Amino acid sequence: MLRVMVLVSGGGTNLQAIIDAVASGTITNTELVAVLSNNKTVKSLERARNAGIPAISVSPKDFESRAEFNEALLAKVDEYQPDLVVLAGFLVAIPEAMVHKYNGRIINIHPSLIPSFCGVGYYGLKVHEKALERGVKVTGATVHFVNEGMDEGPIVAQKAVAVEDDDTPEILQRRVMEQAEWILLPQAIDDIANGRIAVVDGKVKRLK
C-alpha cells in the first residue's frame, strides 16, 4: 500500500480529484495519510477533513526564518512516513534537504506542457495568462518528479488541451484542470502505486 501525502496551497481541486479517485478505485493500492498546507484557512484542508484525512498546516509566517520553516516542514512530512509526496498546487519551494531525502518520491502537477511556461514565476493563473499572451494554440498539463530545479524534474506524463479563441485565463485554467490535471495526477499516482513507472538514469521509464 503506497502511503501518499499531498501538499497544497489553495482550494484543492487536484486534491479532490485524488480523493475521489481513491474512493472510486481509480487509484489502487494507495492510502492518503495526510494533507499539508502552508495556509491554515484554505478549502483544501476542509476537503481533507471531510474525507477523514489528517489535515495539517505548516506556515512560513509562524517561523522567524525560512530555514526554520524548512526544517519544520521536513519534520512534519517525516512524521507521516510517506512513500510518495504529491505537490498538488503547493506554492512553496521544496527545501533542498527534502528533495534529497525523498529523491524519486516527490511528484508535481504543472498547468502547462513543460518546458513551456514553467519555472520561476509561472504558477496558478499566471501560467494561463502567459499562454494567452503568447498566442499558443495548444497548452496542457505535466506531471513530473521533483528535483533541485524549478519544474525541471523527469516528466511522468503530459496531456494537451486546445486553446479557444475566446478563452480568458480563468476559462482556460478550468479546461486544463478538467481535461488534463484531474486525469493525469490520479493516473500517475496509480502508476507509481502499482509499480508501472520508475526513474532510470534521470528519465521516467514505464515498466509494465
Q: Is 61 exposed, middle or buried (0-12, 13-18, 19+ CB in 10 A)?
A: exposed
Q: How far apart are CA 86 and CA 82, in angstroms?
A: 10
Of the residues 100, 110, 128, 144, only one is catalytic, namely: 110
144 is catalytic: no
Residue 57, C-beta contacts closer than 8 angstroms, at least 6 positions apart: 36, 37, 38, 39, 40, 45
The Cα 205–Cα 67 span in angstroms is 35
Among all residues, which ones are annotated catalytic? 110
